[in-house]
A = this chain, B = another copy of it.
Amino acid sequence: MPKIGMEPVRRKALVDAALRVIGDQGTLSVTMSDIARTAGVSPALAHHYFGSKEQLLIATIRSLLAQLRDDAVAALQAAATPREKLSALIRVSFRAEQFAPETIAAWLAFYSEAQRSEDVRRLLVIYARRLRSNLLASLKSLCAVDDAERIAEGAAAMIDGLYIRQSLRSAPISIEASIALTEDYVTTHLDQLYEGRAS
C-alpha cells in the first residue's frame, strides 16, 4: 500500500476524524485510538504525524477556524452594502453546518480546554476578535464609532449565547429564530440612534 505523498492525506483524514469523534462524544477526552480508527489508520500513525494528542487537537481547531474564516470572507464578498454585510455575518454564524449539535459540542469542548491550554485559548481569542472586528467594520459605516463598538460587543455576545443555549437542546431555538433575534438586536439599536434623543 505505501504510496508516496501520504502525509497530507493522512493529516487531513486525522483532523477530520478528530472533529467528528470530538463532536460525537462531546469532549476532548477522546482517545487517539478512537480518532485513528475513525480515520482508518493505527494509533501509532497518528502519533507519527502529529507528535502528541495536544498537537492533533490544535490542528483540529485550526481547521475549524479556517473553515469559519473562509465562509465569512465569502459571505462578505457577496454582500454589497455595510448593512448587508452585517446580515451576512450573522447568517454565516448560524449556518446549518455550524449550528449542528456535534459542531456545537466540539466548540464547547474547545472552550473548556482553553481554560488549560494557552495554545487553544489563543486560537479561540482569534475567533472572538475576528467576529467582533468584522461586525465593527460594517457598523462603523452606519453609526458613530463608540456606538458601533457597543453594538458589535452585544451582537457577538448574543451570537455566542445562542450557541450555548442551543447546546442544551431544550426548547431548541431554530436557526431562523436565532438569526431573527440577532438581526432584531442590531436593527433596533441602529434605529434607536436616529430616533429618540431623550435621556
Contact = CB atoms under 8 A, between A and B. Distances in A.
18 contacts: A26-B115, A27-B112, A27-B116, A105-B112, A108-B108, A111-B112, A125-B170, A128-B165, A128-B168, A153-B173, A154-B181, A156-B161, A156-B165, A157-B165, A161-B161, A188-B188, A191-B192, A195-B196
Number of this chain's copies in the complex? 2
A111 B163 CA distance: 12
A121 interface: yes
Given A125-B168, A192-B192, A154 B114 contact: no
Interface in A145-160: 150, 153-154, 156-160
Nearest to A115: B26
Nearest to A171: B129
The 10 residue pairs across chains A and B that have the minimum distance between CB atoms? A26-B115, A161-B161, A157-B161, A160-B161, A125-B170, A112-B112, A105-B115, A160-B164, A157-B162, A108-B112
Contacts of A171: 129
A84 to B, nearest CB: 18
Interface string A122-146: 0011001100000000000000000
Interface of A: 25-27, 29, 105, 108-109, 111-116, 121, 124-125, 128-129, 150, 153-154, 156-165, 167-171, 173, 177, 181, 184-185, 188-189, 191-192, 195-196
Contacts of A160: 160-161, 164-165
Given A160-B161, A161-B161, A196-B195, A167 B115 contact: yes
A119 B146 CA distance: 44
Interface centre among A105, A113, A168 (most CB of B within 10 A): A168
Given A153-B181, A191-B196, A192-B188, A167 B114 contact: yes
Contacts of A105: 112, 115
